[in-house]
Amino acid sequence: MANYQEQIAQWRRDRAQQQAHSRINELRQEHAEAIRERDQAVASNDLDLAASADDQVQYLENEYRQLVGPQQPQVHPQWANWMQRNSTFIEREGQRGVQAVTEALGYMQRARNPNSNDPRYTGMGMTPQQIFTPQGLEKLEDLLETHGSQFYGVKFDKNEQPLTMHGAAKASNLDQRTYNSFADAYQKAKAAGRVS
C-alpha cells in the first residue's frame, strides 16, 4: 500500500495529466478558430489582421508541441524489415556498417551528375519512395555488396540474411503453397510436442 506522500505524488501526476489533456482540447478549438480568422482576413485582404491571426496560430501550435512532446519518427515498414534481415551485418560491422548504409543511401538519393564519375559528386537520383521498395532495397544491397569493401571497408553478403518463407520454398524446390502447408504441419506438430 502506498504511503501518504506517494498518494499525493500520484494525485498530482493525475491532476497534471488531466489539466494537460483539457488544455490540448482547448488548443485544438482555439487553433481551428485562429485559422478561420486568418483565412477570412486573407480572403478580405486585411493582411494586418491575417498576420496577427497567423501569429496566434503559430503560438498555439508551439504550445501544443510542448504539451504533446516530440513525436517519434515513424520507421518505414520496408526499412524495418530490411534492418531486421540484415542485423548480422549491422552487428558485425557496427558503426562502420551504419556509416556504409548511410552513405550508400546518400548516393542513391543524390542527383545524377553527367559531368562526373566520382561517386562523391553524383548519384542515382532516387527518391525515398523509390528506395523503400523491394527493388530499391535490392539496389542498396547490391551497392553494399559490390562497393562495401572498396569505399567503406565493410563486407556485405546477401547470403547472411535469414531465409524468408519465399526463399525457403525456392531453396526446397517447392511452390509457395506446398511449402506453406509443410511449414504449417510442422508448427502444429511442434505445438503438440511431437517434434522439438
For residue 101, the model assigns a pLDDT of 92
For residue 1, the model assigns a pLDDT of 57
For residue 73, the model assigns a pLDDT of 67
CA nearest 148: which of 88, 98, 84, 81?
98
Grid cell at residue 103: 552513405
Number of domains in the chain: 3
94 Rama sector, left if φ>0, alpha if ψ -120 to 50, beta otherwise: left
Residue 170 structural domain: 163-196
Contact 138, 78 (CB under 8 A): no
For residue 72, the model assigns a pLDDT of 61
Contact 67, 28 (CB under 8 A): no
Q: Are residues 113 and 185 in the same domain?
A: no
Q: Are residues 195 and 149 in the same domain?
A: no
Among 47, 68, 89, which residue terminates a domain? 68
Q: Are residues 108 and 125 in the same domain?
A: yes
pLDDT, averaged in runs of 10, over the chain (196 residues): 79 88 88 90 88 90 82 75 87 90 90 80 87 92 91 87 71 78 78 78
Global pTM? 0.51
Contact 63, 116 (CB under 8 A): no
| Cβ-based neighbour number of residue 142 at 10 Å | 13
For residue 112, the model assigns a pLDDT of 85
Q: Are residues 156 and 86 in the same domain?
A: yes
Q: Are residues 26 and 89 in the same domain?
A: no
